[in-house]
Amino acid sequence: MTPSPLPRSLHVTLDAHKGPVNVARYSKGNAKYILTGGQDRTVRLWNTSTGAEIKVFAAHGYEILTLSVAHDNAKFVSAGGDRSVFLWDVATGTTVRRLSGHMGKVHAVEFNEDASVVASGSYDATVRLWDLRAQTRQAIQVLEEARDTVQSIHIGPATIVTGSVDGYVRTYDLRKGELRSDFIGHPVTSVVPTQDHQTYLVTTLDSHIRLMDMSTGKLLNDFSGHVNTAYRCRGCFGHAEATVICGDEKGMVWVWDLMDAKVLPPNPPPKNHYKVITWTEHHPTDANELITASADGTVKVWRNTENM
């Protein structure tokens, strides 16, 4: 099976943020909308088809570093320099809750499947779990195994996977009450599991992305060619998990074949942004769309026009 070609035709540029954009997330389902968060302390909701800005969410006092969208798209969480997690109601544009307890910047937030629990990872090296149905404002659990900033979190059906600057990916098995630590050896900035939770993609600050076996911690593949040594440049899977995609510090978007780890053409890829690409996310269902966010203050929507 030949992987779908990477969407490389610029469809629209979203440039309302003032300063770097740190995160861009698709809405759930058929995803015509994205949320972006930036240095300018705002979260913005956009229509990717028209490029229209629909709403600005402004309550943060510091930069926004992370976002997660609930399964029904009715709410989302955002966090960053405030050290608190903000829970938002999309319809009203207001914060419903603020979850405080971290002692440093919050770099990662993620909902569980039914959006009853939020996990947050921080510069304080902890992961905190918050029960959104409970009246209490305290974290229901604190995971303190990391020795440095927690940069990435994923909540699966029975596991929580975290990536930390201490060079470890930690998998907490909630049913068995077990922890497995995979030592990657370089600061981990993002961890993205496959949908079947058999493997995960880990991006590290040594200009490598690795595909790891989730149950054994064995290295399955290694992707390189891009430049990523200083910033969080989130890597992700392409359509149908047949490719690996990552933006780099030179503003290029790289794509590799998942099976043989070869860079797919063009190699080297064109420059898509004039500063570091902080976030890359493929459309959840459409093979022909991809978004990139950059420190140059823009988010770009890429399409594959031949297949449309």
The answer to whether residue 174 scores a pLDDT higher than 90 is no
Can you give the pLDDT at residue 1? Answer: 67
Q: In whole angstroms, what is the distance from residue 238 CA to residue 224 CA?
A: 16
Neighbours of 5 (CB within 10 A): 17
pLDDT score recorded for residue 3: 85
Report strand pairing: 168-173 vs 9-14: unpaired
**DSSP notation for 79-137:** EETTSEEEEEETTTTEEEEEEE--SS-EEEEEE-TTSSEEEEEETTS-EEEEETTSS--
pLDDT at 259 over 70: yes
DSSP state of 196: T
For residue 308, is pLDDT > 70? no
To the question of domain 9-221 being in CATH 2.130.10.10, the answer is: yes
- Residue at token pair 């399409």: 303
Domain spans, the chain:
9-221
pLDDT digits (tens, 9 = 90+) for 113-145: 999 999 999 999 999 999 999 988 899 999 999
Please compute the mean of the pLDDT values over residues 28-57 and round it to a whole number.
96
Beta bridge partners of 213: 199
